[in-house]
Structure 1
Amino acid sequence: MKPRKHYVLLLCVLFCSGMAEALEPISTTIAVSMAAALTGILASYQNIFYYFHECCRQEWISFNKTGLQTDLDEKLFGQHIASRIVLKAVNGFMNNENPKKPLVLSLHGWTGTGKNFVSKLIAENVYKEGMHSSFVHLFTSTLHFPHPSQIATYKSQLQQWIKGNISNCERSLFIFDEMDKMHPGLIDSIKPYLDYYDKLDGVSYRKSIFIFLSNAGGESIVETALDFWRAGRDREEMELKDLETSLSLSVFNNNKSGFYRTSLIDKNLVDFFVPFLPLEYKHIIQCTKAEMKARGLEPDQNVANKVAKDLVYFPKFDRVFSVKGCKTIDSKLDYYA
């Protein structure tokens, strides 16, 4: 309730109860003063409440473009295409006061290339509480949707979860991990929420963000990266146009993926298919040093080399790309540090 309403309400109570007739003019003045003072206290309490308790307000949800750009530049390695797409997409969306639809990003690539990490960076630069925000919702296919026989139930629950959370805060973030392990057809249940509607049953979904994470399409990305390497071309020469078409087709036609023949792709509701390239030896070195720095240790080149050399690379004899990216750096560093 707004402060002015508190003031009006108190006066209404006084006058409607007949108390105002019994008050002298000076008493009425005192009552009005008390109402004004009470209004100030309530307003102050409300502001204090918003300060300590996360709410769907600008104090808690505010996009930090500089922060996201710095994080992508300094913490994400070997992903020039993904960094550029993510920064432009999120910045454009968050600065649009009247988007036509939710922002939908689909991140693809082999394990350890940075998909989950980028989702975390987005959350940290939009929400004050980052991944711990009550407005950030993470779904993992093998945990939340494990049984094929219960797809009908999952569809209903998923619709209710999304509608309920967006009703609570239109600036909600939904992250779907392991899309390559999701049962085909399940994700189609949220298609209406990603479409170009002003409102559905009185709820607007247009200011929310949906991020899908998947290993599906990774083979297509790796093949393109290998083609560039075999041709002696620098990986930084690769552009989205070199990967996007083959990536979307690969994902759409993968009958073991949650995106198999999905209406989300068929109706062009995915704004960007974001490819994450396989990582090279030099990127593993960067990941290792970054992890050492995060632990409060001085980055050590010798240790970083030992960790990087201990990983498996492919092609087998050329050892160009890390099979698991930077996935196992944390545990390897425990052994070598």
Structure 2
Amino acid sequence: MKSGKLCVLFFSLLPLVTVEAGLFDIFDVFFDKDDLRPFDYTDLEKDLRESLYGQHIALEAILKAVSLFMRDPEPSKPLVLSFHGPTGVGKSFVSKIIARNIFKKGEKSSHVHLIISDYHFPHKSEAALYQTQLREWIYGNVSSFPRSMFIFDEMDKMNPHLIDAIKPFLDYSDVDKVSFRNAIFIFLSHAPANLIINMTLDFWKEGKERVEINGQELEAQIYQNILNEKDNGFWQSSLLGQHLVDHFIAFLPLELKHVRQCVLAEMANLNMTEDFDLADKVAKDMSFIPPDNIFAVKGCKSIRYKLGQHMKLNKTEL
């Protein structure tokens, strides 16, 4: 959903909705069912382990949750995952990994929808209108394609009334005779980044490995933090009280070694020759959180830009 507008168009009894750059093509609705890939646990596991760095909690939790859901022929409710952590640590990236393991076209599938709070709902005064449009838009998409996937970015900034508009679709019941049990909802949130960073830092200071951080304990702390954070859209909505989010998954801050892995991965993505020295230089050129300078401020978010800068510098020196 790249357009800032949401609207619903009914063709006979079939809802067609504005998604990505424009309206669903009529052929998509009838013939795009083959966009779904046969789900393969091994493929998802391989993809996560090869592409995701420093996120043992997220890897295991997502692999288990997505696999159980996709293998269930009759799920009792939609899959609802909430990803939490600082900038650039893989929340959006993992959403893309999930998408490409479910849809042949991955994130470019017309059934994968990205909603960005500040971009798509910029005016607080129009919250009531957005609420109605959002309900109709989600309903229309799932009506035409039950295995639709929705990614809500900046969930902590979203108006609680809009979050409440999503709630009926996350429950165990049908909505106007339409089942949402095969749909997937993923919420991305920066909060509570400080809690996650501080816990990871405490482990480092105590000489413990980050893989020793218990995901279930951290999930409980994230949930409690959201409950106590009154400025968070989650807290003000009724979503938490109904216990409709299946997992609150923590993404940990990234260390130098993880950023280095990101650089090497970007080199491979650009079909560059693997250069460990250059990767090390680029990784060390990233900003790290003072005073300990253990975790990258932006994670791997600006890797491509930094890599490009160093490549230009190398050409100039030659």
TM-score of Structure 1 vs Structure 2, range by shorter chain: 0.7 to 0.9
Instruction: Read off the aligned partner of 1:296 and give its amino acid letter.
Output: N
Q: How does 1:58-207 map to 2 (within 5 A)?
A: 58=34, 60-197=36-173, 199-207=174-182
In structure 1, the residue matched to 2:205 is: 230
Going from structure 1 to structure 2, the CA distance change for 1:56 and 1:100 (only over 3 Å counts) comes to: farther
Instruction: Read off the aligned partner of 2:226 and give its amino acid letter.
Output: V
State yes or no: 1:300 paired with 2:275.
yes
Cα distance in 2 for residues equivalent to 1:160 and 1:186? 12
SS of the residue corresponding to residue 252 of structure 1 reads: helix
Instruction: After TM superposition, give the deviation of residue 185 of structure 1 in Å.
Output: 2.9
RMSD across aligned positions (CA): 1.8
State yes or no: 1:332 paired with 2:306.
yes
Cα distance in 2 for residues equivalent to 1:286 and 1:61? 29
Determine if contact 2:131/2:161 at 8 Å carries over to the other structure: no
Instruction: Read off the aligned partner of 2:258 and give its amino acid letter.
Output: H
Cα distance in 2 for residues equivalent to 1:233 and 1:215? 25
Cα distance in 2 for residues equivalent to 1:55 and 1:242? 45
TM-score by length of 2: 0.86
State yes or no: 1:215 paired with 2:190.
yes
Cα distance in 2 for residues equivalent to 1:282 and 1:164? 44
Going from structure 1 to structure 2, the CA distance change for 1:75 and 1:322 (only over 3 Å counts) comes to: same
Structure with bigger gyration radius: 1
Going from structure 1 to structure 2, the CA distance change for 1:98 and 1:259 (only over 3 Å counts) comes to: same
Cα distance in 2 for residues equivalent to 1:259 and 1:140? 15
SS of the residue corresponding to residue 121 of structure 1 reads: helix
Cα distance in 2 for residues equivalent to 1:96 and 1:103? 11
Cα distance in 2 for residues equivalent to 1:262 and 1:249? 15
Determine if contact 1:290/1:299 at 8 Å carries over to the other structure: no
TM-score by length of 1: 0.81
Instruction: After TM superposition, give the deviation of residue 64 of structure 1 in Å.
Output: 3.2
Determine if contact 1:138/1:177 at 8 Å carries over to the other structure: yes
Determine if contact 2:35/2:105 at 8 Å carries over to the other structure: no
CA deviation string 1:280-324 (max 9, x = no partner): 0000110000000110012211111111111111232x2111111
Instruction: State the identity as a percent.
Output: 49
Can you give the 5+ residue segments of structure 1 that lack an aligned partner in the other structure? 1-48
Instruction: After TM superposition, give the deviation of residue 61 of structure 1 in Å.
Output: 4.2
Instruction: Read off the aligned partner of 1:252 and give its amino acid letter.
Output: L
Cα distance in 2 for residues equivalent to 1:251 and 1:173? 24
SS of the residue corresponding to residue 324 of structure 1 reads: coil
Instruction: After TM superposition, give the deviation of residue 259 of structure 1 in Å.
Output: 1.1
Determine if contact 1:176/1:213 at 8 Å carries over to the other structure: yes
Can you give the 5+ residue segments of structure 2 that lack an aligned partner in the other structure? 1-25, 312-318
Residue correspondences, number: 286
Cα distance in 1 for residues equivalent to 2:131 and 2:228? 22
In structure 2, the residue matched to 1:28 is: none
Correspondent of 1:320 among 268, 287, 294: 294
Going from structure 1 to structure 2, the CA distance change for 1:54 and 1:218 (only over 3 Å counts) comes to: farther
Determine if contact 1:184/1:255 at 8 Å carries over to the other structure: no
